[in-house]
Amino acid sequence: DTGVSQNPRHKITKRGQNVTFRCDPISEHNRLYWYRQTLGQGPEFLTYFQNEAQLEKSRLLSDRFSAERPKGSFSTLEIQRTEQGDSAMYLCASSLDTGAEAFFGQGTRLTVV
């Protein structure tokens, strides 16, 4: 297994456009997380899936954000009507049900101009 994969690595978009990111977790991992990281800060929790069920969403996840994990495999994070404040690194991570550590992808860097 090659680890957690995120696409695209970089995305530049104009304010007001919609963007979608994809995350492919490690294949046997049931848990999937999305985090956001801004410059000089630690990752901030956005949302969590166990299999296909979205079990928790952060207050950071406004109604412009939506995440899915159909069939409990890959996940997508969509941001509608992007704003400049959405510019950040979006990180995906996965872990086993009984495992303690999360494995992160390389992230998608979003720049809203």
Partner 1 sequence: GNSVTQMEGPVTLSEEAFLTINCTYTATGYPSLFWYVQYPGEGLQLLLKATKADDKGSNKGFEATYRKETTSFHLEKGSVQVSDSAVYFCALSQRTSGTYKYIFGTGTRLKVLA
Closer residue to partner 1 in complex, CB, 58/80: 58
Work out whether 105 is an interface residue with partner 1 (CB under 8 A): yes
Residue 16, SS3 per DSSP: coil
Work out whether 74 is an interface residue with partner 1 (CB under 8 A): no
CB of 43 to partner 1, least distance (A): 5
Please, which residues have CB within 8 angstroms of residue 42's CB and are 6 or more apart in sequence? Answer: none
Work out whether 104 is an interface residue with partner 1 (CB under 8 A): yes
Work out whether 91 is an interface residue with partner 1 (CB under 8 A): yes
Cα 29 to Cα 23, 37, 45, 112, distances in angstroms = 13, 22, 18, 32
Closer residue to partner 1 in complex, CB, 35/65: 35
Work out whether 6 is an interface residue with partner 1 (CB under 8 A): yes
Q: Which of residues 26-45 bind partner 1 (CB under 8 A)?
A: 31, 33, 35, 40-45
